[in-house]
Structure 1
Amino acid sequence: MARVLVFGPTGNVGSYVARTAQHHGAKVFLAMRDTTKLIPGLSGKDETSGGFERITADLTKPDSVTAAVKQTGATSAFMYLAHQSTDHMRATLQASKKAGIDFIVFLSSFTINKPLDAVPSNERIPWIHAQVEKNLEEIYGAKNYVALRAGAFATNTLRWRDGMRDGEVFLTSPETRFDFIADSDIGRGGGRILAEGQRDGENIVYLYGPGLVKQTDAIGVVARALGKKIVWGDEDGDGEVVRVRLGEEENRGTWWKRAYANFEEGKGNVERYTGGKGTGYEEWVRENVGRFKA
């Protein structure tokens, strides 16, 4: 039985990773800064019956990672980007390797779509993820990690929640199409890889939602789910109305020119690694409509 550490299990992706790894036969240790926090989708009863165990650890504190690995005997770990790290997680990765972690699944970003050394430092999102991937490559080697280059999270649209409640939403990129991948699909893919290891020697795995949706269409999906009507700009409207104002398209940098060039690959990987079709944005909103009301 694989023994795995899942960092960030209180997050939506991390929770799915933990539950999926356990479903596929792994002994799962929940690595948390605060071991008293609730884990979404995992009740206390399920946590006990599933053999999950909580342990204190912090990705920004390599000594705590060492202690957690030695205490649990874990040999694989799921990690996310620790933004507070001053060395792009290098010391943490070195500590985990020395303590006994042989394989890592890292939640990276689809914004990396060129060789790591070619990612410009002024494009922060791809660059900062690329630095961690470079450290993984150097410390672990290509056969001993997988970078999940996940697309644009569906959960990013939860930033519209306050505006939907207050009656006005501003769209930063109204005509841009995003894949809006579900957190469940990322987590199920990552959890299976964590439990079973690389597939076909792949250490870079793109994951995308099943379709590309414009922001203007996405806000309409959310409005319908909440029983509200969209009005654009200064149009008049009656009843439960949400006024949507449109901004100019964001300048995302050079990486965006190649965004979704490998869309079919990333869409197919969701089914390939999870065993089921990806969750479309409308389906995800229906399943998560309560989160837009919170």
Structure 2
Amino acid sequence: MASVLIFGPTGQVGSVAAATATSLNAKVTLAMRDTSKPIPSLPDSSNYAKVQADLTDPTSVANAVKASGATRAFVYLAQRDPASMRAVAQALKDAGITFVVFLSSQTIPHDKALKEVEAENFIPYLHAQYEAALDDVFGEENYVAIRPGAFVSNFRTEIDGVAAGKVSLVGADFKMDSVIPADIGRVAGSVLVEGPKNGQKKVYVYGPQILSMEDSLKRIGSVLGREIEVQNVPAESVDKSKVPPPVKYRLDRLAEEREGKGWKERFWKYEEGVKNVELYTGKPATTLEEWVAENKAIFGA
């Protein structure tokens, strides 16, 4: 029986990874900053063993591994300092972890070495640094990076606009795959317990449709029975230094597209990433419409 440690089990991905690992007959321990925190998204979470741990604190990480007796761990990006990332990776290994599944990001350029990703590209840089640390500490045979596309749950930020029937959006023509967190969690949980398939070291996970954010919002409205007007805020009117990293990433990629770099280049191994959902879970990737139909309450419907 595999013994696994899940960091971040209160998250949308971690909770499903834990449930999936349990369904595959693994012994699952939850590593949490606050072990008293309820986990509504994880069925029977009160029945799980829990240990206190913080992924920014190597000592607590080592203690959690030792207390759990786990040899496999699911981790996510919790640090912004490369040195701290490496220290945590080393703590995992020294305490007894032999295999790691890391929730990484599809934004890491496929045509650059991990350590060559520029720091100004905030999101891919941090994930690449963590992958590089795992590569150095564990070796490429002993960890797998799950590289999902754009989470469909990002549309939660537009709840008020969807309710009002009018959304003002920077970069409304930005294309995304809208992968659902549960699909990512099921893939991650499968890899954690059973290992990767087809020799994959970077497991891409994508949603089955590439749509602009504007088209996506209109489809959300269609499922909810609402007509949604989408106003595109011109990129040139936005000060990129004052927007959140995800919006800056969106604007940077749109700028690249205007300079001739096609959006399809962002979706590296797209067909494989869509098929990976069924490969690891036995079910096809969930569509945007299916996710909205199951989560209408998020949008007040």
**TM-score (norm. length: structure 1):** 0.88
Q: Deviations over 1:109-156 (max 9, x none)?
A: 001122313322221111111000100100000110000011000011
In the TM superposition, 1:17-32 aligns within 5 A as: 17-32=17-32
For 1:90, the equivalent position in structure 2 comes to 86
Give the percent of matched residue pairs that are identical in Structure 1 and Structure 2: 46
Per the TM alignment, residue 33 of structure 1 is displaced from its structure 2 partner at its CA by 0.4
1:245 matched to which residue of 2?
A: 231
Q: Structure 1 unaligned runs (5+)?
A: 232-243
CA RMSD of the aligned region, Å? 2.0
* Residues 1:248 and 1:261: Cα distance change in structure 2 (over 3 Å): farther
Give the secondary-structure state (helix, strand or coil) at the position aligned to 1:278: coil
Report if aligned partners of 2:53, 2:60 keep a CA contact under 8 Å in 1: yes
Cα distance in 1 for partners of 2:262, 2:298 equals 29
Contact 1:270 1:278 in 2 (8 A): yes
CA distance in 2, matches of 1:84, 1:262: 27
Closer, same or farther: CA 117–256 of 1 in aligned 2, 3 Å: farther
User: Secondary structure of 1:277's match?
Assistant: coil
Match of 1:180 in 2: 178
1:16 alignment partner AA: V
CA distances 1:24-59 after superposition (whole Å, capped 9, x unpaired): 11111111101122213324xx235xx521111100
Alpha-carbon offset, residue 256 of structure 1: 7.5
Counterpart among 70, 77, 96 of residue 73 in structure 2 = 77
Name the counterpart of 2:3: 3
Instruction: Report the counterpart of residue 235 of structure 1 in structure 2.
Output: none
- 2-side partners of 1:129 and 1:74: how far apart? 24
Q: Which amino acid aligns with 1:264?
A: E
- State the partner residue of 2:293: 286
SS at match of 1:205: strand
Residue 3 of structure 2 contacts residue 28 of structure 2 at CA under 8 Å; is this kept in 1?
yes
Aligned length: 278
**1:167: Cα distance to partner?**
4.9
Deviates more, 1:96-105 or 1:212-221: 212-221
Mean Cα deviation higher: 93-102 or 200-209: 200-209
Q: 1:275 & 1:88 partners in 2: Cα distance?
A: 37
Q: TM-score, normalised by structure 2?
A: 0.86
Q: Does residue 1:52 correspond to 2:48, yes or no? A: yes
Change (3 A) 1:106 1:261: closer
Matched residue of 1:39: which SS?
coil
- Give the partner amino acid of 1:95: A
On the 8 A contact 1:148/1:190 being kept in 2, the answer is: yes
In structure 2, the CA distance between the partners of 1:10 and 1:85, relative to structure 1 (3 Å rule), is farther
- Is residue 259 of structure 2 the alignment partner of residue 259 of structure 1? no
Residue 125 of structure 1 corresponds to 123
Cα contact 2:82–2:126 (8 A) shared by 1: no
Please name the residue that 1:273 is paired with: 280
**Residue of structure 2 aligned with 1:67, choices 45, 48, 63:** 63
- Aligned partner letter, 2:136: E
Residue 14 (structure 1) aligns with: 14
- Tell me the distance in 1 between the aligned counterparts of 2:193 and 2:262: 33
The aligned counterpart of 1:158 is 156
Deviation at 1:188, TM superposition (A): 0.2
Counterpart AA for 1:11: G
Q: CA separation of 1:267/1:72 partners in 2, compared to 1, >3 Å: closer, same or farther?
A: same
Q: Cα distance, 1:197 vs. partner?
A: 1.8
Is this contact kept in 1: 2:72–2:97, CA < 8 A?
yes
Separation in 2, partners of 1:4, 1:277: 26
Q: Which moved more, 1:56-65 or 1:114-123?
A: 114-123
CA separation of 1:91/1:275 partners in 2, compared to 1, >3 Å: closer, same or farther? Answer: same
Q: Counterparts of 1:81 and 1:293 in 2: how far apart (Å)?
A: 31
Contact 2:16 2:42 in 1 (8 A): no
Instruction: Flag the structure with higher helix content.
Output: 2
Question: What SS does the aligned partner of 2:56 have?
Answer: coil
CA distance in 1 between counterparts of 2:82 and 2:279 reads 35
In 2, are the aligned partners of 1:88 and 1:132 still within 8 Å (CA)? no
